């Protein structure tokens, strides 16, 4: 059996063909994607806050608020996870997030390139005739089913 169909039936429907080699740009993109890089998902936010001290200027003047405080946030298993970062860590996390965005963009380009390549292979394979495409146009080979009754009872 070949994926539930006999090889004879399968080979009549579509001719098995050798794959064309991937385009050069796809091989180059795959090599780039395979190189590990520090990257992350999520977002980085910068906040200033008002404290609760009665005489503090931050309560009245937004420019006098405390901070900035940096927060790295992302979803993990359906929950939001956040952590505070120092300004130095925030600069590094910003680069890592940008690297993650670039990775996703390259991955999408890779998918599109692979689909284009697959389409070109389909365009080069034999087409199904109108007669075969009609309902009941080709006869399926079925195997004899066993009886439903148990043989041991």
Residue 43 dihedral angles phi and psi, to the nearest 5°: -140, 160
Q: How confident is the model at residue 59 (pLDDT cuts 50, 70, 90)?
A: confident
pLDDT on residue 83: 94
Query: pLDDT tens digits, residue range 85-120?
Result: 999 999 999 999 999 999 999 999 999 999 999 998
| Predicted TM-score of the model (pTM) | 0.63
- Work out the average pLDDT over 14-41: 84
Q: Is the pLDDT of residue 12 over 60?
A: no
Quickly count: other Cβ atoms within 10 Å of residue 62's Cβ: 9
């Amino acid at each position: 059996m070949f994926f539930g169909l006999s090889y004879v039936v399968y080979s009549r429907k579509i001719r098995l063909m050798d794959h064309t080699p991937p385009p050069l740009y796809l091989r180059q993109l795959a090599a780039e994607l395979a190189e590990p890089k520090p990257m992350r998902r999520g977002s980085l936010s910068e906040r200033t806050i008002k404290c609760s001290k009665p005489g503090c200027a931050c309560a009245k003047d937004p420019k006098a608020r405390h901070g900035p405080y940096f927060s790295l946030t992302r979803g993990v298993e359906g929950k939001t996870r956040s952590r505070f970062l120092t300004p130095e860590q925030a600069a590094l996390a910003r680069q890592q997030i940008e690297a993650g965005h670039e990775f996703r963009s390259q991955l999408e380009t890779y998918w599109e390139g692979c689909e284009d390549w697959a389409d070109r292979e389909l365009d080069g394979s034999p087409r199904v005739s109108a007669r075969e495409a009609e309902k009941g146009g080709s006869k399926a080979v079925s195997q004899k089913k066993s009886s439903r009754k148990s043989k041991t009872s």
